[in-house]
Amino acid sequence: MSGPVKSLMIGLMSGTSLDGISAAVVRFSEPPLAAQLVGYVHRPYSAAERAELEHAMAGRATMAELTRLDFTLGERLAQAAITAIAEAGVARADVGAICSHGQTLWHEPRVATWQAGNAAVIAERVGVDVISDFRVRDMAAGGEGAPLVPIADALLFSGTDWRALLNLGGMANFTVVPPGGALEGVRAMDTGPGCAIIDLVARRAAPALPYDTDGALARAGTAVEPVVRARLADPWFALEPPKTTGRERFGAGYAEQLWTDCMAAQPGCTPADVVASAVAITARSIAHALDRFVAEPVSEVVASGGGARNPALMDALAAAIAPRRLVPFDTLFFEGEAKEAVAFALMGWLHLQRRPGNVPGATGARGPRILGTHTPA
């Protein structure tokens, strides 16, 4: 890469919640390092598109279906980038790179990972360089390949006191960031399910809904405590970090078993009670991780992601993590649902400068690594 790195980047993210594609137009500057959100769009998945992804992530897709899906996702990601560029009113020639996380179809910590959404398709359709496959290099260096967002949490979103940055996507994870964002003190981990289980049981309870709108179902129900306690006894929650997880563990099979267990454990159990139980498992597993694995004096937890839009989950979480304060990301920075897309834009910007994008203390990698694969326009 010759010449100065352009300051304008596009971050693309499709997470385990399967709600859609996020595209953020971000301008970076330094010193000090700062990110300005110039534009943001969200392309929701249709019910058919979501079902197609769930089919693939459950391991039921054929090789032909997986290969076609990789190209189809590339087209969808490219269109999201084109829309974001147009709505932000910026020129494609001014964009340094499109930084695409893609969609994780399989993630096996320290073994293998695959994020679909073909980079060459994106580069062809948009006419801009693409940085993709961010997780692979960290895993090749002995890391978990996740979480990767801690680099942004530390460099962009630290405060004057110890802070935990919590992402409530399909899975939940947090980054513990010291004052001033020194990378040496950063730690991070997945805590278990975020929105994924809540969304799955909510869709079973009310098939017309993509998720539990405004937490209404959860608020109408009561958690089935014996089932919640049994689920939180899962040995995975006691594993020492660094650790990651995904729908391979907390996916459709887990949600189906949770439904069955709740209905069997409590006479008169309602679908709303199952949704409330999923909310309780998510909130308490996050609190458990903070209590068990965080010795630092974290006084506030800053929440972003789709789950931060669920009032029932936020209320349960605020009660579970007390006396720590729960603070919505939006109140401190920008649109919280854009945060992960901004983080991958940062990783792509760092890639172009030949600077590391992982935090070894978070992933367990042998050391700092430049992340991503560069596909020219």
Cβ neighbours, 10 Å, residue 17: 23
Work out the burial of residue 6: count CB atoms within 10 Å of its CB; fewer than 13 is exposed, 13-18 middle, 19 or more buried. Answer: middle
Domain residue extents for the chain: 8-148+337-375, 159-331
Q: How far apart are CA 3 and CA 11, in angstroms?
A: 22
The secondary structure element, H or E, covering residue 80 is: helix 63-88
Q: How far apart are CA 25 and CA 208, in angstroms?
A: 32
Distance between first and last Cα of the chain:
13
C-alpha torsion 8→14→15→20, nearest 10: 120
Distances (CA, A) of 151 to 64, 123, 177, 226, 360: 36, 25, 10, 38, 10
What six digits make up the tokens of 314? Answer: 């936020």
Judge if 8-148+337-375 and 159-331 fold alike in CATH terms.
yes
φ, ψ at 333 (rounded to 5°): -130, -110
What six digits make up the tokens of 194? Answer: 């975020």
What six digits make up the tokens of 309? Answer: 């839009």
- Mean pLDDT per 10-residue interval, the chain, length 377 residues: 82 91 97 95 94 92 97 98 98 98 92 96 98 97 93 95 95 94 88 96 93 96 98 97 89 96 96 98 98 96 95 98 97 94 98 96 94 98
3-state secondary structure of 30: coil
Work out the burial of residue 264: count CB atoms within 10 Å of its CB; fewer than 13 is exposed, 13-18 middle, 19 or more buried. Answer: exposed
Q: How far apart are CA 350 and CA 374, in angstroms?
A: 12
Q: Are 43 and 76 in contact (CB under 8 A)?
A: yes
Q: Are 347 and 134 in contact (CB under 8 A)?
A: yes
3-state secondary structure of 109: coil
What six digits make up the tokens of 147? Answer: 């979480």
Length of the chain: 377
C-alpha torsion 299→345→19→322, nearest 10: 0
pLDDT, residue 27, reads: 98
For residue 130, what is the DSSP state? E
Q: What is the CATH number of domain 8-148+337-375?
A: 3.30.420.40
Distances (CA, A) of 42 to 103, 170, 187, 343: 15, 16, 29, 16
pLDDT, residue 2, reads: 54
Q: Are 196 and 190 in contact (CB under 8 A)?
A: no
Check if CATH label 3.90.600.10 holds for domain 159-331. no
For residue 33, what is the DSSP state? T
Q: How far apart are CA 254 and CA 91, in angstroms?
A: 45
Q: How far apart are CA 107 and CA 102, in angstroms?
A: 13
